[in-house]
Amino acid sequence: MNRDYVLKYSPDLLQSAAICYIKQLIGPAFPIVFVGLSIYSGIQVYNENYSWRLGLAGGGVFIVGAIMISLFIGHLKHAKKTANELRNGETIFGLSESGISFSSPLGFAKIPWGQISSLHQHKDFIILLINRGNYTSVPLASIDDEAMEFIRKSVLKHGGKVAWQKPAR
């Protein structure tokens, strides 16, 4: 299949995709560690136990919280900047047997299927996770069912994972 699609991005869609990516990136571990260290610190302060463990737990709360907040702010700022740059031009999304490509006001990128580690489908978009810790999003309203099926099969064929099936439209 060799096809090109014109993608229609909106600031809300890119922001939603960034939030979903952040949630996948930090997973449940960071919030659980943050809450656990916060509770432990609170109990120690309540009991007036100001030992070195309180300092260690407090430092952990600060570090874990700072990591989560910086990831969140960084990705949301990048999504907003990208939305502003894509507003003035069109994005061409290419599908081929060797991979996907994007041509937009931001430049040109070609991603081989083997570099896509997983596909995560949401209500309005899909997120393709790239091996090097990056992601890209594709609005579902801009592609047809045949293209979606081709993407899903290609990701699986080249060793990637599909997180869930496409919801009914």
pTM greater than 0.75: no
C-alpha dihedral (143, 146, 150, 156), degrees to nearest 10: 100
3-36 pLDDT, tens per residue?
888 888 888 888 888 888 888 877 788 788 888 8
What is the residue type of 55?
G
pLDDT > 80? residue 117: yes
* Residue with the larger pLDDT of the pair 106 and 97: 97
39-71 pLDDT, tens per residue?
888 888 888 877 877 888 888 888 888 888 888
Beta bridge partners of 145: none
* Residue with the larger pLDDT of the pair 106 and 156: 156
The rounded mean pLDDT for the chain is: 83
Q: Which two tokens stand for residue 42?
A: 């609170």
Across the range 122-144, mean pLDDT stands at 86
> Is 79 in contact with 95 (CB distance < 8 Å)?
no
Q: Is 119 exposed, middle or buried (0-12, 13-18, 19+ CB in 10 A)?
A: buried
Tokens 């979903």 belong to 20
| Nearest by Cα to 162 from 121, 123, 131 | 121
Q: What's the confidence (pLDDT) of residue 168?
A: 46
- Band the pLDDT of 164: cuts 50, 70, 90: low
Q: What is the largest CA-CA distance in the chain?
A: 68
Q: In whole angstroms, how far apart are CA 45 and each of 32, 36, 74, 161?
A: 20, 14, 32, 45
